[in-house]
């Protein structure tokens, strides 16, 4: 499944998916933290593969890693520069090109999860040829994706869904995978976005698949398995998103989850990048997920709520988690804070 989908998980990190690590994380001129989710995801889940960050003038986001030029990063052992931004439309602005050329000239390969193709940018293609470096586009689906069948298949599947984009679906799926593995269960994390693929070394970029084949891609990513096996599937978009709802429907119906976890960020009121569009309620997302999920998974149910409380104090986070659980009658937790609340959420995923 794509150039990085069949990599054995016991390979050395720098070989995972053929991606050149250690990485220098490129932040461009980004000012919205939500758009730097690739950089934050790599920092948080594979910090051992990250040597620093490279931002352009005007950037208002930082991962907290050392600020390095491409030449300094190369001297520190970096082998690739990863575009750590996932902006609206997945574009590479002209203002970034000089910095990316600088990285190629410093001896780094470029790794991108954007919709825009690196090799389609003449300056990058020429610089890569001069420097003998690679241009690697992670967001490339494999050939031969079938149309979804909707047929039942063995194995258990858990899907993270969201009230919006960029609020914790990947983190929740990774944390749930880690938590269930810690209980001795047979579990796989199934990456569906560029950052998840870079972390896991395997996956399928579901939002780069032609819409008629999204459900088939999800079936391909989560094939029939032993009854005791669990796939934890990274969600994409949001069913009630004004732009990205279609990919969420295809992923939901193709993955056929037995269980889903709704991810939400308390305090977010508008859809990221879409002013004037209110974030839907958790209740509305539960209802929509059940209604649309029943098309292929008749017994689908919500296990609970994953809250991204990173902007809250420990006390405020605990209060929000408790209030959400009480209001909905479902387990609620912040997977990154862990604790008994998260263990209750894992229990509900297995019930």
Same domain, 115 and 255: no
Final residue of a structural domain among 90, 109, 137: 137
Considering the domain architecture, whether residues 74 and 118 belong to the same structural domain is answered as yes
Q: Is residue 9 predicted with pLDDT exceeding 60?
A: no
Q: Are residues 68 and 172 in the same domain?
A: no
Closest alpha carbon to 321 in 305, 332, 337, 335: 332
* 194 and 302 part of one domain: yes
205, 291: one domain: yes
What integer best gives the mean pLDDT of the chain?
A: 92
Backbone angles phi, psi at 178, to 5 degrees: -65, -40
Interval 181-190 mean pLDDT: 97
Per the structure, the count of domains in the chain is: 2
**Same structural domain, 79 and 160:** no
Question: CA 168, 174, 175, 180: dihedral to nearest 10 degrees?
Answer: 140
- Tell if the pTM clears 0.85, that is, is over it: yes
Nearest to 159 by CA among 1, 321, 329, 297: 297
Say which CATH number the domain at 183 has.
3.40.50.300
CA distance 128 to 134: 6
- In residues, how long is the chain? 351
Looking at the structure, tell me whether residues 162 and 129 fall in a common domain: no
The verdict on residue 13 lying in a domain is no
CATH code for the domain of 48? 3.40.50.720
Of 95, 87, 131, 89, give the one whose Cα is nearest residue 110: 131
pLDDT above 50 for 284: yes
pLDDT the model gives residue 2: 31
What's residue 3's pLDDT?
30
Q: Which domain holds residue 115?
A: 20-137
Residue 124 shares a structural domain with residue 269: no
Asked whether residue 125 falls in the same domain as residue 191, the answer is no
**Is 80 part of any domain?**
yes
Residues in a beta bridge with 162:
263
Query: 94 lies in a domain?
Result: yes
% of the chain with per-residue pLDDT over 70: 95
Q: Is the pLDDT of residue 15 over 80?
A: no
Residue 331 sits in the same domain as residue 219: yes
Residue 6 resides in a domain: no
Residue 121 has pLDDT above 50, yes or no: yes
Separation of alpha carbons 98 and 4, rounded Å: 28
Residues 97, 221, single domain; the answer is no
147: in domain:
no
The answer to which of 4-13, 239-248, 270-279, 319-328 has the lowest mean pLDDT is 4-13
Q: How confident is the model at residue 19 (pLDDT cuts 50, 70, 90)?
A: confident
SS3 of 162, please? Answer: strand
Mean pLDDT computed over 127-147 = 94
Both 112 and 161 in one domain: the answer is no
Query: Phi, psi (5° rounding) for residue 50?
Result: -115, 125
The Cα 124–Cα 113 span in angstroms is 15
Q: Does residue 7 lie in a domain region?
A: no
Boundary (domain end) residue, out of 137, 166, 194: 137
Model pLDDT, residue 177: 97
Query: Quick check: 317 pLDDT over 90?
Result: yes
| Residue 265 included in any domain | yes
| pLDDT score for 322 | 97
Whose structure tokens read 């980004």? 30
Specify if 146 maps to a domain. Answer: no
Picking from 43, 30, 334, 27, the residue whose alpha carbon sits closest to that of residue 198 is 43
Distance CA 8, CA 1 (A): 13
């Amino acid at each position: 499944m794509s150039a990085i989908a069949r990599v054995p998980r016991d390979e050395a990190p720098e070989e995972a998916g053929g991606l050149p690590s250690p990485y220098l994380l490129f932040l461009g001129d980004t000012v919205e933290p939500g758009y730097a989710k690739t950089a934050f995801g790599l920092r948080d889940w594979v910090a051992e593969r990250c040597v620093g960050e490279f931002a352009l003038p005007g950037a208002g986001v930082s991962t907290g890693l050392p600020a390095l030029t491409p030449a300094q990063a190369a001297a520190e052992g970096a082998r690739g520069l990863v575009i750590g931004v996932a902006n609206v439309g997945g574009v590479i602005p002209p203002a970034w090109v000089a910095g990316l050329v600088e990285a190629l000239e410093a001896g780094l390969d470029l790794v991108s999860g954007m919709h825009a193709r690196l090799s389609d940018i003449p300056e990058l293609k020429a610089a890569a040829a001069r420097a003998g470096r690679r241009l690697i586009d992670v967001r490339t689906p494999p050939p031969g994706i079938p149309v979804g069948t909707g047929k039942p298949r063995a194995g258990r599947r858990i899907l993270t869904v969201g009230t919006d984009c960029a609020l914790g679906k990947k983190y929740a799926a990774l944390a749930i995978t880690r938590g269930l593995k810690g209980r001795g269960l047979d579990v796989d994390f199934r990456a569906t976005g560029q950052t998840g693929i870079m972390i896991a070394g395997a996956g399928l970029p579901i939002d780069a698949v032609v819409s008629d084949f999204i459900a088939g891609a999800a079936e391909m990513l989560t094939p029939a398995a032993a009854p005791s096996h669990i796939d934890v599937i990274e969600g994409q978009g949001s069913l009630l998103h004004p732009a990205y709802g279609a990919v969420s429907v295809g992923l939901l119906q193709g993955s056929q989850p037995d269980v889903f976890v709704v991810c939400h960020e308390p305090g977010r009121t508008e859809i990221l990048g879409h002013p004037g569009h209110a974030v839907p309620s958790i209740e509305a997302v539960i209802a929509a997920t059940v209604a649309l999920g029943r098309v292929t998974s008749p017994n689908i149910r919500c296990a609970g709520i994953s809250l991204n409380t990173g902007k809250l104090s420990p006390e405020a986070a605990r209060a929000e988690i408790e209030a959400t659980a009480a209001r909905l009658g479902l387990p609620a937790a912040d997977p990154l804070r862990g604790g008994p609340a998260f263990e209750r959420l894992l229990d509900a995923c297995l019930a």
